Structure 1
Amino acid sequence: MQKRLGVKVFYNDGDTSHTRFNGTAEEAEEYFVGTPFNFGWCDGKEIFKTCVKIETYE
């Protein structure tokens, strides 16, 4: 059984987050990097942050 990778996600505004991913490091990079993620609404505007890079860990 494949282990879930830890992923540190870096966004275009300097923020980071941590999550788990079922797949390889290459698959995680393909999925996250360049993808805009919805962070909800603020002051009547929808907030999107785009992943610019990731770091994976066990």
Structure 2
Amino acid sequence: MTLMSKLPTPRPDAAAADSAVYDARDLVANGEKATIVLDGQTYILRITRAGKLILTK
């Protein structure tokens, strides 16, 4: 199974017809953090208690 097959289904959004739209809470399934890899670099996406997103390297 590839990483892309594990992603939630993108939500339809007329304003973003040229890109996929994901709810951050779907990406951060455990409610705390998600690990994102880009070109071998690992990033952590977190949702704060205040409902803000933080992306760190």
Of Structure 1 and Structure 2, the greater helix share is in 2
After TM superposition, the score normalised by the length of structure 1 is 0.28
Of Structure 1 and Structure 2, the greater strand share is in 1
After TM superposition, the score normalised by the length of structure 2 is 0.28
